[in-house]
Structure 1
Amino acid sequence: MKTRGRIVAFLLLLVIFAGTISPTVTGVLNNIKLGLDLQGGFEVLYQVKELKDGQEITEDVVADTASALRDRIDVLGVSEPSIQVEDGNRIRVQLAGVDDQNSARELLSTQANLTFRDSDDNIMLDGMDLKEGGANAAFDQQGQPIVTLELKDANKFAEITSEIAAKPAPDNVLVIWLDFEEGVDSYKEEALKPEEEQKFTSAPRVSQRISSDSVEISGAFTVDETKHLSGILNAGALPVELKEIFSTSVGAQFGEEALNSTILASIIGVAAIFIFMIAYYRLPGVIAVISLVVYIFLILVIFDWINGVLTLPGIAAIVLGVGMAVDANILTYERIREELRVGKSVKKAFDAGAKESFTAIFDANITTLLAAAVLFFFGTSSVKGFATLLIISILVIFITAVWASRILLGLLVHSGYFDNKPGWFGIPKKRMHAPEEEVDTLDLTTKFDRFDFVHSRKIFYIASITLTIAGIIILSVFKLNLGIDFSSGTRVQIESTQPLTQAIVTEKIESIGLPSDDIVISGENGSSAVVRYKDDFTQEEIKTLKTEMNEQFGKDPSVSTVSPTVGQELVKNALKALMFAALGIVIYVAFRFEWRMGLASIVSLLHDAFLMVTVFSILRLEVDITFIAAVLTIVGYSINDTIVTFDRIRENLHRSAKITSEDELATIVNKSLRQTLGRSVNTVLTVILVVVALLIFGAEGIRNFSIALLIGLLAGTYSSIYIAAQIWFDLKVKEMRKNGGIEVKKEEKKWGSDEPVV
């Protein structure tokens, strides 16, 4: 009866999962907001500056400016705009899904200081003379779009029009300006220019006194332009000057292509993981797949609840989180398989494996959580989104890969149906010892028994030191190919339906007065070109570039500009992020294990990070802010692997009351590395499946990010075995020689176990 009841409970849980996910997943996906890199749009960071000397920039002034910007955005009809005040005097605006980016940028940046002037540029009226909300889009008697203005004082307007009407032609004009610059602008100079180049908004002739309180602004307006103009006038003049210090814009087609390719890559990567888990782990693999489906669903639900914005790095974080969730399952399943091999029953092997693996899972994920938290604190824009999803992923892993997965597998195991059926767990009976043999897991053979890691450590020390020296030389010669995130300047990515050549791109950008010597052709069939400039472009230059490239190649280019100030800050914040992440991890590892393990971990992390930097220098790959995200992710992954190794070393050490010889310690370290290497290979393999899928099928925007992850994953596995564990061994040997052996500290307990810790 118990057998049937547990299986029924298992099936009932599956029905509940399916019944919850199936009807809601579509709604959840539709509710999630996409970032501008997935649907097009632009992001701009403004530095708030005073309009006049002596004006103090206070929190209230910045808040009023942000409010005025929000009012203007309402005119655009953009859904879910993001306006954030940063560092006290900066405002970040993100508008995803904006079709006419040029008009939107102009709408945001213009001061909207409305003035009415005579032909000699003397001010007659200003924005304070308008009624609040008195600007409206309308049509004149000929059906042409115009803007009507309601004035507060009709008598004042009558006096002004009377004065202007008395002047001889052509000076009898009332010139309407937005953002007139004293000493720079002049009506008489502008009147000589072609109409489309004139800076004033309108210059109607006044032939008689006008006593009405209504004014019409006419010109070669479109309906949308009159709506924008009336909206900006109603929003009022900005109380300060805004200077763009960072901006990035993505065409709608770029976003759509990036979304489709990255989703395809994610599906392929996750499907490959599912196939591997079922093929290798059999029944536990099926449970892992179920828990991973629930994991992905919960991630999306929580992200929807917190009103998050999904970006390209965010999708990568979800998919990489699948790899981390798989790691938690693999740790448990490998321990269960070990317990089965020593002759335990399926039930006892499950209980022991679940218990013994928890400490490693907990410590490994906490350290990754530290790296993600640092990334969130120091990151900007989409990097924060990546860090947010990584943090959510780690927390959800404990719900799905640890708790839910064990409940589901426990129901099946304790039903009794799988008693004496180790094959369902991937263990043939011929590999199992009889219970009466009383074999310890430390004595189990592995596929890696022929490797002597400890006694060959000097070879790998020399190899790593040689690689480091070579890396230093390479970096000193080639330097890093810093992206504009760190070097400042402008980056333009041009997409075309036809193959591009450097000659074609060079000719076009020179024709609009924006020449560059830094042009790289890439993409399938050479349909993409990246052009870089050392200077950060003005708004007018960006507008010209986007308009001309769209006309020439049929697609809006993606344009990013970074001022030198922001570039320096990003470098500083990136170094801080790496420093604090490393410091937090070494403190945690030293607290949970011992200081020697913490020191060894940091050396291996620096090794991994430096290797990634060196490879990027050799391959001349661009180092941008997503590279830092990749480095911090690998910091978490690498320490994850290292901690699992140290956890097994610690567990095996306590089996001896005292270790008195170097050979005894070497035997324990070697056996621990052999036991965990299978798990490390399987974990890295599953994550690499995802990373390779992102690399091959994913969007261009995360290509370098994926390459950095691939390098880091391989380096992290290597360093955990040949660097971290071996440095700890040498430090421990020194302690042993000094103290005459290694005593077990009986008072310390391993979490979730009754066994003491060294």
Structure 2
Amino acid sequence: MLNKFPLWKNLMVIVIVAVAAVYALPNLYGEDFAVQVSATRTTTVDTQVLGRVEDRLQEINIEPKSVVLEDGQLLVRLNSDSEQLRAREALLQELGTDYVVALNLAPATPDWLEALGASPMKLGLDLRGGVHFLMEVDMNEAMRKILGQMRDTVRADLREERIRYTSVERDGNGLQIRLRTADDFQAAMRYLDGAYDGYTLIDDEAAQQLTLRMTEAKLKETQDYAISQNVTILRNRVNELGVAEPLVQRQGADRIVVQLPGVQDTARAKEILGATATLEFRMVDDENSIRDAEMGRVPFGSELYPNRNGGNVLLKEDVILTGDHIVNATSGFDENQRPQVSITLDGAGGDKMSLATRDAIGKPMATLFIEFKATGERNAEGNIIFERKEEVINVATIQARLGSSFRITGLDSVQEAQNLALLLRAGALIAPIQIVEERTVGPSLGQENIDMGMQAIIWGFVLVLAFMVMYYKKFGMVANLALATNLVLIVGVMSMIPGATLTLPGMAGIVLTVGMAVDANVLIFERIREEIKAKRSPQQAIHHGYDSALSTIADANVTTLIAAIILFAIGTGPIKGFAVTLAIGIVTSMFTAIVGTRAVINAIWGGKRIDKLSV
């Protein structure tokens, strides 16, 4: 019998639509104003913290909707935005810098939907409001730092092998090693040949010189590592800023996108995200004359640096420790009420510090502060020029063997101590970055974007509904049902995809999909009309109408889908948002227009003796 779906096919349509409807439902429940409390790397959020939060809220007469501890985070739901701001300030005072207290908008999804894993779509910056930064990484400095670490490794290895060298210095994308004697040259060749993955050895026996050169694969791996490390550290800094649901991701070869929903104070965000401060701990060279060094006669193995308190300090070239090993840093005051930063190292850092200070009791150790600032200019290669600022902020005599905990002083202000502690907790950028693009979207503008986007979708939807009913009568009503189902499917799929974000261009993609979704039904219905004019029976007209139009519909939609995939692959932020909703809309509209409407038409008209169709 013509135009009858088997039971399994009808059930498939019902199940798909039902699942999409369930996962689209959370978008109808809105959001609660909330404060989110999470731990830093050295603390945990537990029931004790929960009790402190509840007690503090009670003290300031705030009755929260709920306080829930889940997955190591505490979520406090509140009744208004004014309560949200008061609660955050109070909890910041109560918990201090050991915890991150962030403003948030928590979905008001019922428990039974959450149990199914259903959650509303995430809104992009243009709909929620906040700050957008596009940052460029200085790859030259990244290579300098990575090769500097490699240089220290090669020096240490050569000393351990008792191979004497004159110098080990950077040479482009490699290291140039000058040996003292012919025997040292031969020994170094035997040892270094194949010793380091990703490096090729070039020898110059006449000059008693070897060069370790990075391979192209190693160079790309090193650059990728620099970008990925900066992305990780920027995420840590965003967490320290207390921003909920931020976006930090790589874009292109040397750029990073940072989006901070809900943040309106761009000055503080730029200060923390763009800062490249780090520390190096080195021994002071007290065996050579500082005066000779200031006159240009810097001894081999030492370097001259300015002292923040005036004058200069001669430091050993070898770095005891860098900020990479710092796991926690808190600001405070010493016994004389001067700003200080207390530092905690990881296990490897503690071992290095302990080994370096074991035989150095009574000797001075310096803390070298390094910062990069963009000059606003670019070099011939088009890279941003950064000014490197280095100064000694503290020189202290080692009184006892140091371990994983110690403190640094010599800071100018409490604010400097707080900022330095924050940066050290979050980690030092592997290379400096420059903000090349900045956009701020206010929350009122974000809501206006949502309202205007919804109006566009609703008006487009209503006009298409009216046209289809007027032109195709009852079959038009079936197409309208498919169109409404298509919107549910798009929202449901967007809500199910982890990381999918609805942006204003994404809403434009939905509007476009609303207009395109009925194209397939127009083709089918026009073909059915042609079959009826050719004197076929209504059942045959329906059957041939769908079958004949299928190839045309598939060709048109597949080509558009390919265009959407290309837009997503090569596009950036807003273009990706448009491409995602367009691609999802194409797939769901094909399902609803071909399978969905066929199921409904088969259920109403299929397998029956009818004389004419309302099409």
Q: Is contact 1:115–1:124 with CA below 8 Å preserved after alignment?
A: no
**Structure 2 partner of 1:135:** 329
Specify which of 521, 534, 541 is matched with residue 329 of structure 1.
Answer: 521
Aligned to 1:35: 124
Deviation, 1:234, is: 2.3
For 2:258, which of 78, 89, 93 is the aligned residue?
93
Alignment correspondent of 2:46: none
Structure 2 CA distance for partners of 1:38 and 1:123, relative to 1, 3 Å? farther
Aligned residue identity for 1:32: M
| Superposed displacement of residue 44, structure 1 | 1.0
Q: How many Å separate the matches in 1 of 2:448 and 2:542?
A: 46
Per the alignment, in what secondary structure is the counterpart of residue 330 of structure 2? strand
Q: Cα gap change, 1:118/1:292 in structure 2, threshold over 3 Å: closer, same or farther?
A: same
CA RMSD in angstroms, aligned pairs only: 4.7
Q: Please tell me whether residue 119 in structure 1 is matched to residue 284 in structure 2.
A: no
Letter matched to residue 391 of structure 1: A
**Alpha-carbon shift at residue 42 of structure 1 (Å):** 0.8
Could you say if the C-alpha distance between residues 217 and 253 of structure 1 is closer, same or farther in structure 2, counting changes exceeding 3 Å? farther
1:720 counterpart residue number: none
1:103 matched to 2:272? The reply is: no
**Measured at CA, do residues 340 and 202 of structure 1 come closer, stay the same or move farther in structure 2, by a change above 3 Å?**
farther
Structure 1 equivalent of residue 103 of structure 2: none
Alignment-derived partner of residue 360 in structure 1: 552
Preserved CA contact (<8 Å) 1:42 1:98: no
- Is the counterpart of residue 46 in structure 1 residue 136 in structure 2? yes
Q: Which residue is equivalent to 1:25?
A: 24
**TM-score, normalization: structure 1?**
0.44
How far does residue 400 in structure 1 lie from its aligned partner after superposition? Answer: 1.3
Q: CA deviation at 1:314?
A: 0.9
> What's the TM-score once normalised by structure 2's chain length?
0.53
Structure 2 unaligned spans of 5+: 29-118, 145-169, 174-218, 282-306, 376-388
1:589-625 superposed Cα distances (whole Å, 9 cap, x missing partner): xxxxxxxxxxxxxxxxxxxxxxxxxxxxxxxxxxxxx
Matching of residues 159-178 of structure 1 within 5 Å? none
Q: Which residue of 2 aligns with 1:76?
A: 241
- Residue 319 of structure 1 deviates from its aligned partner by 1.8
Distance 2:540 2:267 in 1: 67
Shift, 1:270, TM fit: 1.3
CA distance in 2, matches of 1:161, 1:259: 66
In 1, Cα distance between equivalents of 2:320 and 2:136? 24
Q: Is the 8 A contact 2:280 2:321 kept in 1?
A: no
2:406 alignment partner in structure 1: 213
Residue aligning to 2:444 = 253
> Cα offset for 1:208?
11
Task: Summarize deviations over 1:365-422 as a string: whole Å, max 9, x none.
Answer: 12222322332233212202212222222222221111111121122111527x2243
State the shift of 1:321 in Å: 1.2
Shift of 1:364: 1.5
Tell me which protein shows more helix as a share of its residues. Answer: 1
Superposed CA offset, 1:669-693 (max 9, x none): xxxxxxxxxxxxxxxxxxxxxxxxx
Deviations 1:327-352 (A, max 9, x none): 11111112222333444332222112
**Letter paired with 2:247:** S
The 8 Å contact of residues 118 and 124 in structure 1, kept in 2 or not, is answered as no
The yes-or-no answer on 1:300 pairing with 2:389 is: no
1:81, 1:95 within 8 Å by CA — same for their partners in 2? yes
Instruction: Find out whether 1:392 has 2:584 as its counterpart.
Output: yes
C-alpha spacing 1:370/1:162, structure 2 compared with 1 (3 Å): closer
For 1:180 and 1:121, the matched residues in 2 are separated by 21
| Alpha-carbon distance between aligned partners in 2 of 1:217 and 1:415, rounded to the nearest angstrom | 89
Give the number of equivalent residue pairs. Answer: 393
In structure 2, how many angstroms separate the alpha carbons of the residues matched to 1:322 and 1:49? Answer: 45
More strand by share: 2
Change (3 A) 1:272 1:358: same
- CA deviations 1:432-460 (Å, max 9, x no partner) are xxxxxxxxxxxxxxxxxxxxxxxxxxxxx
Is the Cα–Cα contact under 8 Å of residues 202 and 218 in structure 1 kept in the other structure? no
CA shift in 2, pair 1:13/1:388, >3 Å: closer
The 1:326/1:219 distance shift into structure 2, 3 A limit, reads farther
What pairs up with 1:716-727 in 2 under 5 angstroms? Answer: none
| Distance change (3 Å), C-alpha of 1:181 and 1:43 | closer
Give the counterpart letter for 2:457 in structure 1: S
- 1:26 and 1:357 map into 2 onto residues whose CA distance is 34
Q: Work out whether residues 115 and 180 of structure 1, in 8 Å CA contact, stay in contact via their aligned partners in 2.
A: no
SS of the residue corresponding to residue 321 of structure 1 reads helix
Shift of 1:28: 5.5
- 1:402 and 2:600 aligned: no
Q: Which residue of 2 aligns with 1:264?
A: 455
CA shift in 2, pair 1:210/1:46, >3 Å: same
CA positional deviation for 1:320: 0.7
1-structure distance, mates of 2:597, 2:495: 24
- Write the distance in 2 (CA, Å) between the matches of 1:296 and 1:182: 47
Residue correspondence of structure 1 range 96-495 to structure 2 within 5 A: 96-114=261-279, 117-120=307-310, 122=312, 128=321, 132-137=326-331, 147-150=341-344, 179=371, 213-215=406-408, 229-306=420-497, 307-416=499-608, 419-422=610-613, 424-425=614-615
Kept in 1, the 8 Å contact 2:277–2:372? The answer is no
CA-CA distance at 1:217 after TM superposition: 7.6
Query: Equivalents in 1 of 2:250, 2:548: separation in Å?
Result: 47
The 3 A distance-change label for structure 1 pair 217 and 200 is farther
CA distance in 2, matches of 1:47, 1:137: 29
1:313 is displaced (CA, Å) by 0.9
1:507-586 aligned within 5 A: none
Structure 1 position 326, deviation (Å): 0.8
1:450 aligned residue: none
Q: 1:217 to 1:407 in 2, by over 3 A?
A: farther
Per the alignment, residue 152 of structure 2 pairs with none
* Change in 2 beyond 3 A, CA 1:234/1:323: same
Q: CA deviation at 1:17?
A: 7.5
**Residues 312/393 of structure 1: CA separation in 2 closer, same or farther (3 Å cut):** same
Distance 1:160 1:256 in 2: 63
Q: How big is the shift at 1:280?
A: 2.4
How do residues 678-717 of structure 1 correspond to structure 2 at under 5 angstroms? none
Q: What is the aligned partner in structure 2 of residue 665 from structure 1?
A: none
1:60 correspondence with 2:225: yes
CA separation in 1, counterparts of 2:417 and 2:396? 25
